[in-house]
Amino acid sequence: MRRKRLFWQLFPTFIIMVLISLIAVTWFASASYKSFFINQSKYDLIARTYLIKDKFSQLVIDTESATIDSICKALGNKSSTRITVIAPSGKVLGDTEEDPATMDNHNDRPEVIEAKNEGAGSSIRYSHTLKQDMLYVALPMNLPEGRTASIRTSISLASIGDALWSINTKIIIGGLVIAGIMILVSLYMSRRISVPLEEIRRGAVRFATGDFSQKIPVYDSLEFGMLADSMNQMAEELDTRIKAIIRQRNEQEAVLASMVEGVLAVDMDERVIGHNRAARELLGISAESSEGKTLHEVVRNIDLQRFVARVLATRESAEEEIVLRDAGEKYIQVHGTVLRDAHGHSIGALVVLNDVTRLHRLEAVRRDFVANVSHELKTPVTSIKGFVETLLEGAVNEPESAKRFLEVISRQADRLHAIIEDLLTLSRMEQDYGRTKISLRLEPLNAVLKSAIQVCELKAQESNIRIKISCPEDIRAKINAPLLEQAIINLIDNAIKYSEPESVIGVSGARENGEVVIRVTDRGSGIAREHLPRLFERFYLVDKARSRKLGGTGLGLAIVKHISQAHGGYPKVESIPGKGSTFSIHLPVVE
């Protein structure tokens, strides 16, 4: 339905009312004036007729008809009144306008009949003789012998029409002026109603869009004032409530967002109703894509879907570990509880997701470590035990065998010693790094590199390996010199171990991208890609037999990693099998 403005509803009504009253007033006034004028003229005419009646009754008795007619003409013309004298027979004896001889019998005229019956008569008629509306008045004239003649006077009503027309014109002009004023007043009145309404409407729209900053003006009209007041009050109340809700929501969001654990909420139909950042990251979903969707559509993991379905079905808390395989393997500890509303009705389930992948890995590393340590220690100990038993069983008396056995025992004891030394270094590092930070001093790097090379020089010479150093004198870093030297020694030692004789090893120090980078590069065997991520783990050996033969413990790079971290840096390796490897230690630059 097309809606009209209030103004256009009020305004035509006002106009119609004004027009109806104007027409009614004009019609009524005009009718009243008309009857008033006619009455006035009638009484005036009767009075005038009375004045001449006696004169004419004498004339009718005494005189000839021609005299009467000429008197009628003279008197009538002077007084602008038509005078007709009618004989008792109805014959016209004299008339102001016409020749009586040509006029028909006048006893049948209504005013004449009325005059004879009631003493005076009047009538309004259209005169065919004069071609206009006429007012006729007739009086009886009593003659001797009981005969009754009549005298009739008449005037034209045209003058009354003119007078009425001028009065009507005035009434209409007055009415139109009043109508004009009424229109202006109605315009003003409708605006007085519609303007505040419009203002209140705009205010309501503002409130609906959440803008409570501007109030609706309060009007002096009681109803509008009360309406505006109530709406302002409502807006204030809404504003306070919305602010409280937003604050609560922000607080909740902040709490949820800063949680390390993922939180996922679903309703009874398994539709996702909320999740925090951690949950999105863990499950690889986006805030928009999951809106209003079911868990099945959002998360592809069957285990999680089953888990949620179980919590919803049993309405009991549950805990389980699931594995997500989307991007690498992730172990997630999920804890589900039933969501309840204020009345205690179940409305869904809340799942807290805890990423325990690191714990898993640590656990695996720990297990490996214990197994490795035992294994690593067991090999030399078994070997020592075997040779000692052989010696005890008599070999001690065979000097040559005894010497060989003792040499083996000594080598194995050295290996045991090396392993234990490395383990101690590691555990010391872990302790120091874990508790008090190691002391760091700003020192030139060059000296540390040189010193490390010096330690390894002898071993390198054995295989005719050259060690080249390149490090600008001015490079300084915050370091613990003995520790860093140990790490570089480990790297150079490995480079020598895994390089062919006669090759070259590069040791360099440089500033790169806001870091101080120490590199040890060899052209040795290189390491296959799959080993690189785990290379810095304890006891990780690429080729166990070869490493052991070379006196490796699998702890050297673990120590390098720890020392790098103790310096606030990290180690890195790049290697191409058959071409060589580059191990680097990245340290932060201190300005």
Binding stretches for ligand ADP (CB under 6 A): 490, 494-495, 498, 522, 524-525, 527, 535, 540-543, 547, 552-558, 581
Residues in CB range of 568: below 8 A, 6 or more apart = 478, 587, 588
| Residue 378 C-beta: closest distance to ligand ADP, Å | 17
- Phi first, then psi, for residue 260 (nearest 5°) are -75, -30
Nearer to ligand ADP, 179 or 517 (CB): 517
Residues in CB range of 102: below 8 A, 6 or more apart = none
CB atoms within 10 A of CB 32: 10
Q: Give how far Cα 64 sits from Cα of 61, 69, 70, 93, Å.
A: 9, 9, 10, 9
CB 128 within 8 A of CB 5: no
Nearer to ligand ADP, 111 or 522 (CB): 522
CB atoms within 10 A of CB 329: 11
Nearer to ligand ADP, 303 or 543 (CB): 543
CB 268 within 8 A of CB 348: yes
In this structure, the dihedral spanned by the alpha carbons of residues 205, 210, 211 and 213, taken in order and rounded to 10 degrees, is 120
Nearer to ligand ADP, 477 or 557 (CB): 557
| Residue 284 C-beta: closest distance to ligand ADP, Å | 34
CB 242 within 8 A of CB 250: no
The DSSP letter of residue 109 is: S
Nearer to ligand ADP, 186 or 425 (CB): 425
Nearer to ligand ADP, 38 or 418 (CB): 418
Tokens of 257: 């967002």
| Residue 288 C-beta: closest distance to ligand ADP, Å | 46
- Phi first, then psi, for residue 261 (nearest 5°) are -75, 145
C-alpha–C-alpha distance, residues 119 and 158, integer Å: 27
Nearer to ligand ADP, 182 or 555 (CB): 555
Nearer to ligand ADP, 279 or 505 (CB): 505
Nearer to ligand ADP, 94 or 556 (CB): 556
Helices and strands, counts by H and E, the chain: 14, 17
| Residue 540 C-beta: closest distance to ligand ADP, Å | 6
| Residue 529 C-beta: closest distance to ligand ADP, Å | 13
| Residue 564 C-beta: closest distance to ligand ADP, Å | 13
Residue nearest to ligand ADP (CB): 552
| Residue 382 C-beta: closest distance to ligand ADP, Å | 20
The angle at the Cα of 379, spanning 378 to 385, to the nearest 5 degrees, equals: 80
| Residue 568 C-beta: closest distance to ligand ADP, Å | 22
What sign for the dihedral angle of Cα 414, 415, 417, 422?
positive
| Residue 495 C-beta: closest distance to ligand ADP, Å | 5
| Residue 512 C-beta: closest distance to ligand ADP, Å | 21
Give me the half-sphere count of Cα atoms (radius 13 Å) on the Cβ side of residue 378. 6
Nearer to ligand ADP, 412 or 490 (CB): 490
- Phi first, then psi, for residue 239 (nearest 5°) are -55, -50
Nearer to ligand ADP, 1 or 545 (CB): 545
CB atoms within 10 A of CB 272: 22
CB atoms within 10 A of CB 97: 16
| Residue 505 C-beta: closest distance to ligand ADP, Å | 9
Nearer to ligand ADP, 136 or 540 (CB): 540
| Residue 310 C-beta: closest distance to ligand ADP, Å | 46
The residues with which 570 forms a beta bridge, in sequence order, are 586
The angle at the Cα of 432, spanning 455 to 550, to the nearest 5 degrees, equals: 35
Q: Give how far Cα 352 sits from Cα of 7, 251, 260, 539, Å.
A: 61, 19, 10, 36
